[in-house]
């Protein structure tokens, strides 16, 4: 939420947020869902999705793109782009 606030103070338009796992995680699903909902509601921004941890993804960009296509919903961007 702090990052969203700073970006908006600097007049950066925020289209949405994407969550990504930087390491193998054992956080319960209900906490992940609650964090996503909290950011969306309190930050007044759509959550475009969440990409799971992908070991070595920097060495396999095509795999990362495939994961993005599978896990992200970019449809909220259509309205944002037309503004």
The string of pLDDT tens digits covering residues 33-51 is 888 899 999 999 999 988 8
Alpha-carbon distances of 26 from 20, 21, 53, rounded to whole Å: 14, 11, 11
Distance in angstroms (rounded) separating the CA atoms of residues 10 and 62? 33
According to the model, what pLDDT value does residue 71 have? 86
Return the H-helix or E-strand segment holding 59. none
pTM as predicted? 0.74
- How many distinct helices (H) and strands (E) make up the chain? 4, 2
Query: How many percent of the chain have pLDDT more than 70?
Result: 100
Average pLDDT, the chain: 85
Rg (C-alpha) for the chain, rounded Å, is 14
Residue 75 has pLDDT above 80, yes or no: yes
Phi, psi of 56 (to 5 degrees): 70, 25
């Amino acid at each position: 939420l702090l990052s969203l606030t700073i970006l908006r103070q600097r007049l950066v338009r925020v289209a949405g947020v994407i969550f990504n796992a930087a390491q193998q995680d054992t956080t319960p699903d209900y906490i992940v869902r609650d964090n996503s909902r909290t950011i969306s509601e309190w930050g007044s921004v759509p959550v475009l999705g969440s990409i799971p941890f992908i070991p070595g993804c920097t060495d396999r960009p095509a795999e990362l793109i495939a994961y993005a296509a599978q896990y992200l919903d970019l449809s909220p961007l259509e309205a944002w782009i037309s503004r």
